Amino acid sequence: MSTGTPRPTVGAVVLTMNDRPDEFSVAMHSLLAQQGVELDIVVVGNGCTPEQVPGGVRTVELPTNVGIPEGRNVGAANVKGDLIFFFDNDAVLPAPDALLRLAAEFARDPRRAYVQPRIADPVTGRTLRRWVPRLRVSRPDRAGTVTVMAEGVVMVRRDLFEAVGGWPGHFFLFHEGIDLAWRLWDRGSIGHYAPDVIVHHPATDPARHTNFYRLNARNRVWLALRNLPAPLIPLNLATWALTTLWRFRDPAALRASLAGLAEGLRGGHGARTPMRWSTVARLARAGRPPVC
């Protein structure tokens, strides 16, 4: 008697602050409806006791808000599965085989450490530029190798996630996906974008967060100081600074960004493990050198 092919084992991590009750309910329903995978789910209450959690789903309560990347680290440590799926609590999986199809992408190339689906607004169907994990964003329907990720909806191999130390928890918010992707690439792995797998997510503005400009700038500095060979750090930061000056017309936003830049330069980035020059070359060949 044939036992068939084993089903992929997936641990799903969802964070909540109990501030999106309607969206959270829909997100969890779509997650529980997934078929073809062995699914283990944990909901992490980031500074709260999780509410409206469906039966059979485990929870972890954190007494304070430790930030998104560290909350996801806690969740990853509390789920089982060879693959870990990080899922925003206002996202929706419109098809019941979404996780199965994402998991199948890893079998197609053993070098793949993470796979990102295409994220689209449920009303307009639009995929925002920041959701496309490459510099050329005009074709969000084009699959391929990618060097960064959209952190809120992504599947990662557990063994590699743990080998590189998970998310940079002290980032609190913003740029943690680039940090993780670079460290995975530095182990010889790659990322893959699978746009035929659709995940719905409202097209919200990250600047809605009070500390967006400060944290965005601080973490950009930390990202460079943690990961880049020394000669590339000033080039990376200069590119970012010029782009910031060109984009921002709001004096308050510019001041907050400069404050974040100064904060980042004062330290706090954590252990410095610069990537190999061979990784720099691989990232450049993949279309995104680590200077932009």
Q: How confident is the model at residue 210 (pLDDT cuts 50, 70, 90)?
A: low
Task: Check residue 150 and give its pLDDT.
Answer: 95
Q: How far apart are CA 97 and CA 240, in angstroms?
A: 39
CA–CA separation, 265 and 267 (whole Å):
5
290: tokens are 């680590």
Considering its fold, how many domains does the chain have in total? 2
Distance of CA 188 to the CA centre of its chain: 19
Q: What are 138-152's pLDDT values in tens digits?
A: 899 999 999 999 999
- Give the Cα separation of 87 and 91 in Å (integer): 7
155 neighbors 85 (Cβ within 8 angstroms)? yes
Q: What is the pLDDT of residue 2?
A: 45
Instruction: Give me the pLDDT at residue 1, please.
Output: 42
Do 229 and 195 share a domain, yes or no? no
The answer to whether residues 187 and 80 belong to one domain is yes
pLDDT tens digits, 38-73: 999 999 999 999 999 999 899 999 999 999 999 999
Tell me the two tokens of residue 148: 């960064």
- The three-point CA angle 27-98-49 to 5° equals 25
Beta bridge partners of 61: 45
How long is the chain? 292
Within a domain: 253: yes
Instruction: Please state, in angstroms and rounded to a whole number, the distance separating the CA atoms of residues 276 and 160.
Output: 17
For residue 181, tell me if it sits in a domain: yes
pLDDT of 182 reads 98
Q: pLDDT at residue 81 above 60?
A: yes
Q: Which stretch of 17-31, 54-68, 98-112, 122-136 has the lowest confidence by average pLDDT?
A: 122-136
| Domain-located, residue 290 | no
Last residue of a domain, one of 204, 228, 247: 204
Q: Is residue 193 part of a domain?
A: yes
SS3 for 34?
coil
Rounded average pLDDT over 240-261: 83
Instruction: Choose one of 189, 204, 219: the last residue of a domain.
Output: 204
In-domain check, residue 114: yes
Which residue segment(s) compose the domain that 242 sits in?
208-285
Q: Are 287 and 185 in contact, with CB atoms under 8 Å apart?
A: no
pLDDT at 3: 56
| Domain-located, residue 67 | yes
Angle between helices 251-265 and 212-227 (to 10 degrees): 30
pLDDT confidence band for 217 (50 / 70 / 90): very high
- Both structure tokens of 156: 């990662």
Among positive and negative, which fits the CA dihedral 271, 274, 279, 283? positive
Q: What distance, in Å, lies between the first and last C-alpha atoms of the chain?
A: 55
- In this structure, which amino acid lies at residue 88? D
Give 161-187 pLDDT, tens digit per residue: 999 999 999 999 999 999 999 999 999
Question: Which segments of the chain does DSSP mark as H helices, in order?
Answer: 21-32, 68-76, 98-108, 158-163, 176-185, 212-227, 232-247, 251-265, 277-285
Residue 292 falls within a domain, yes or no? no
Instruction: Express each pLDDT in 120-135 by its tens digit.
Output: 999 999 999 999 998 8
For the cut 70, the answer to whether the pLDDT of residue 17 exceeds it is: yes
- The pLDDT of residue 235 is 95
Query: What pLDDT is recorded for position 112?
Result: 98
Task: Judge whether 1 lies within some domain.
Answer: no
